[in-house]
Amino acid sequence: MKSLEMYLKSNPEDPKLFRFKFRKQVREQVDFFPEASFTSVNVSKLVFKSSQQQALCEYHRKGKGSTFKADTAIELFGMGFKGESVGDSKQVAEAPEGHLHCGCPTREVALELFLWKTTRAFSSNPKLLGRSYTMEELSKLKPSTRTFWNKSIRDYTGLQVEDFLSPDYGSDAYAMRIALTQLHTQVERLKALRAPVAVELIFPDADDGNYSGNMLQYGMEMGFFVTSKQLEHYWDELKAKRKVFPLPLITRKD
């Protein structure tokens, strides 16, 4: 575990620090080192790099060469191009931009890893009230299923892959950013629909009397809490840069 701590505190995108045995454990054990799933897209890509230096999603790692299929005009397989199995790292060429060597989009695989590592589900059985479950294996999800599932999550929440993946995952600051981003999405959608509503967001100054000057500065630097100015700045960034798309509703035919 010391190697993992060193990895987190240094350059998390250095494959020499993130050794193969750790990457394998991250892929196979849902509770092991969840930080690898929400640090960045590039770190998530490292998780799927094999000992031959070929980056494959878990579905293709567990499958056979015949499962490598490129998307076509008539069918979406969830793979931008046809991947290829190799037996030697010398045979590994650079994958096309934004993809793993199996042909799967890097951002889609990163979001799948994040959801697998961080999501817990519950049973409707009243005898199991309060007990949560994790998905045992990551290898069961087909690339095409992954593509539609991820797209649905992004469409309805307005969140992008990079919104989910952040080193401060689990903090109040992270939760506030996620909530504000979703709020911005829904407000913009209401405007586009010409809904008769008026939404004005105000960020009053918080009472920071309980914090000393040094503690306040430390908190701002480490992101342990968020000030009203930080929230207002983030909201302004969303209004200026975030493009909001309408819900992907299908047209009903009478």
Residues 84 and 148 reside in one and the same domain: yes
For residue 196, which amino acid is it? P
Residues 172 and 155 reside in one and the same domain: no
Q: Are 229 and 254 in contact (CB under 8 A)?
A: no
Residues 151 and 102 reside in one and the same domain: yes
**Number of structural domains in the chain:** 2
Q: What's the rounded mean pLDDT across residues 200-226? A: 59
pLDDT in tens, 78-109: 999 999 888 777 788 889 999 999 999 999 99
CB atoms within 10 A of CB 244: 14
Residues 37 and 62 reside in one and the same domain: yes
Pairing assessment for the beta strands 121-122 and 132-133 based on DSSP bridges: antiparallel
Residue 92 is encoded by which pair of tokens? 């590994």
Q: Is the pLDDT of residue 176 over 70?
A: yes
Residues 230 and 118 reside in one and the same domain: no
Q: Are 62 and 88 in contact (CB under 8 A)?
A: no
**3-class SS at 184?**
helix
pLDDT in tens, 30-72: 999 898 999 899 999 999 998 888 999 999 998 766 689 999 9
Note down the domain range covering 212.
Answer: 168-241
Is there a domain that residue 19 lies in? yes
